Structure 1
Amino acid sequence: MQTCGKEDLFFPLSRSVSLSKCAFLHGVGGSFPLVFFLCFFLFLRFPVTQGEHMPSMRIGSPVFFNNIPFEIEERQILREMRIPRKSALKELDEPGLAHQIQKAIDEGYRLIQGKGVYRTLALTGREDKRVLTRESSTLFVGEKMEKLLRYCDFASLLVATIGPDLENRVDQLASDEPAYSFFLERVGAWMADYMGILVDRSIEKEAKRFGYGRTFRFGVGYGDWPLSTQKEVMELTQAHKIGVSITESYIMIPRLSVSAVIGWERTLDVPEKKKGAVKQDNADEIEDEG
């Protein structure tokens, strides 16, 4: 009689299907060619790693980023200020304007302290216009959210901020130097999003380690995802540890902060990606115009 081994094939968590040698042999009547074919098919269909070598997946525990290194790019600041067709301050026709923006960038380096956090949740089910997790049945709600996470097994919540110092400086300057205050605020607005992008990239890297693709970054309060879910996002990510809280109306403090969700997609199940198309959220990508 064939002795069944204890070795299992492991697939990323909620996709995991523990398939022992016994399951194959009993399920297909011990037919070696069919067993070989099924193993080969599963190998192609899913990323497979032996259990003892499988990297740990950080599910349920927040991952924090402190003192995030950064660079303030002139091109991105000009884009944020809606100054078209310019990629560097030296290209501006008004030297005074270029000086003010450069001053805001220099002060940004002194005032910005980038921090971020993300937490990945396993998705456990779907109901009427909501996606469930073990932690919550009220977080991922809405038709757009259900569509976003349609092919996902996991979703990562992220929060990122540049800290309070820059926006406090903006408020101090608002009355006496409104133009410069605006320039400085625009520097902060882009850099808050930039911190979100850096955390986003870490999530994408983590998802790829386990054979997943990613959805675009979907911000809290956009579409039909209620702003009120901000409270759960703050609690689940422990955002207070990076200095972010919310008001009674769910606005983040510091206000130059971002919060969002990114889904981990089973890429081969997404129809348009089967055809080689790649989804991109232009708002979340740093454009390369070079």
Structure 2
Amino acid sequence: MRKVRGRSIRVRPMAGAPRMEHGDVPIDPYRGALYTPAELYDVQPYAGSLDARAYAWSLEPPTPQATLAQALHDHAVDEALTEWITGRHLVGVMGGHALDRSSAAYADAARLGWMLGQRHVVATGGGPGAMEAANLGCFLAGSSRDRLASAVATLAGVPSFKPSVDQWAAKALTVVDGVSGRESLGIPTWFYGDEPPNVFATAIAKYFRNATREAILLQVCDAGIVFLPGAGGTVQEIFQDACENYYAAPGSVAPMVLVGRTYWTETLPAWPLLHSLARGRAMEGQVHLVDTVDEAAGLVQERRVPRSTGES
């Protein structure tokens, strides 16, 4: 059983438990591995893909069979994710899904993923925007910064997944094609099915239940989390992670780094509350507010992950 920051994310089913029939469902409730981009984008156009079919199915009026199938599927993804993270140290990058590929902030997020990917596996929410950029950076962490900049420039030709997911994904696949990139993790959800998964996360743990997905995403990031500017979802992740660290044992506290002083003190002033919450707790020295992704990467990279989280 793998414990992350003192919490187990795995519950083994009873040996010999029967496999139940679930009728006409688009997903395998008993799958034994995480998704790959090729599985989710199995056919073109995107509207006919496994990812789109699963989302459409999740919007149908619930039946007992469908509800059970989704619960079993998410449990199977838990199992597969637990196996996948064993022996790996993950650093999270959280940020807004609407970040335009042609923006300077997207290039910064990609560079952050590139820097973090030199020593860690990057984990994101698996979607577009800042999440895609961080997965891209980690994917190309074995290449030069010039190669990364070239990839970002290519992607800028289709800056958003709106209005066409097909064009957005096709442009990303031109960057992936023929490249043996470094591994990274995406943990998206069909709850936000209008946000397609990015193709730069080499392993994808996609859930139906967003509450499960959010908790798992934060728990697996044993090497810390960098929070780029975002909206409601990113703010939720900041304080959900803060709660984990608030009650964690001193040796299990993971760094929290907020990037953007003006953004996090004026635009969405999460920092003053986070800083006050941390005062006098074991987490106090592990919460940081910086202006650049270079500073953020330096703070995460200088911390050695305790052996208690699985280091060998």
Q: Do they superpose with TM above 0.5?
A: no
TM-score by length of 1: 0.24
Q: Whose Rg is larger?
A: 1
